[in-house]
Amino acid sequence: MNIIQAIVLGIVEGLTEFLPVSSTGHLTIAEKLMGLRIDDASVTAFTAIIQVGAIAAVIIYFFSDIVGLIVAWVRGLRSASDRDNPDYRMAWTVIIGSIPIGIVGFLAKDVVSGPLRSLWVVAAALIVWSVVMYLAERVATQRRTGRDVTVIDGVVVGVLQCVALIPGVSRSGATISAGLFRGLDRVAATRLSFYLSIPALLAAGGYEAATSAKDISHGVGWAATAVATLVSLVVAYASIAWLLRFVGRHPITYFVGYRVALGLVLIALLGSGVLTAT
């Protein structure tokens, strides 16, 4: 992979990681258009590792909030009177909500990096999950704010986050939809989505960096991986700020038309033989 390709893929990751359009799906499409083998071990590892840049953007953007959650959690462990603090509940929500993706992601690793790395899967997931996002907005009451988030919300959203292991679903699309189904307002659901992304994507990126170092060295290359990760950080930071403003005023169904259109275009290109699935 050359540096120009790395920069482009870093931009794609940063733009799409937190929008409900599927960053993995877009990266898979972009990698395929560049002539890369999307089922190659080094490309799969690259796709996971550069997400760490986007997560670094989340940590920087929400740094004071994250510190507040940690402080509230520690105080709540020490004192029962501090357990009514919404930040204490949110901290436990993130901890408990991160367990499902850790278990499923580990057990399904070979499936995710193997059979699911297909553009047919991406196309189908883009379209099918658009229906879920549409339904989430239709039934959403949005009566609950971030102060009302509970551990049960974390469990439900965390379980739905596992579905995003399928390329094309979108981790943010899955988690924000789950939050809306639970009655959270869009901003609360989106912030919870951001918080849950930190342990999930750090674990995935760290695991790939540790276990696929040789694949990266002999394939994509660490220089390209580092450049793409840095670019994704910068672009993702801007994307986070934009998305929080956007969801405060608009439903996530604004992204449905784009998802369906992209899925249909992919099906047409695959069916006509212009693109191959892997």
pLDDT at 178 over 80: yes
Contact 197, 13 (CB under 8 A): no
Report the predicted TM-score, pTM, of the whole model to 2 decimal places: 0.86
In tens, the pLDDT along 212-238 reads 778 888 888 899 999 999 999 999 999
pLDDT at 259 over 80: yes
Asked if the structure places residue 276 within a domain, the reply is no
Asked if the structure places residue 48 within a domain, the reply is yes
- CA dist 89 and 245 (Å) reads 25
Cα 128–Cα 260–Cα 247 angle in degrees, nearest 5? 90
User: What are the Cα distances from residue 82, in Å, to 7, 67, 72, 92, 149?
Assistant: 46, 16, 7, 13, 16
Asked if the structure places residue 253 within a domain, the reply is yes
Asked if the structure places residue 62 within a domain, the reply is yes
In tens, the pLDDT along 31-72 reads 888 988 877 888 888 888 888 899 999 999 999 999 999 999
Q: pLDDT exceeding 90 applies to what percent of the chain?
A: 57
Contact 57, 118 (CB under 8 A): no
Rounded (10°) CA dihedral 216, 219, 220, 225? 20
Task: Tell me the two tokens of residue 73.
Answer: 């959690």
Contacts of 37 (CB under 8 A, 6+ apart): 43, 278
Asked if the structure places residue 278 within a domain, the reply is no
Give the domain range for residue 122: 3-271
Q: pLDDT-derived band of residue 260, with 50, 70 and 90 as boundaries?
A: very high
Asked if the structure places residue 277 within a domain, the reply is no
pLDDT of residue 218: 82
Asked if the structure places residue 86 within a domain, the reply is yes
Torsion region of 205: left, alpha or beta (phi above 0 gives left; psi -120 to 50 gives alpha)? alpha
Asked if the structure places residue 104 within a domain, the reply is yes
pLDDT of residue 114: 73
In tens, the pLDDT along 15-36 reads 998 899 988 888 888 988 898 8
Q: Indicate the number of domains in the chain.
A: 1
Say which range, 135-139, 217-221, 248-252, has the weakest mean pLDDT: 217-221
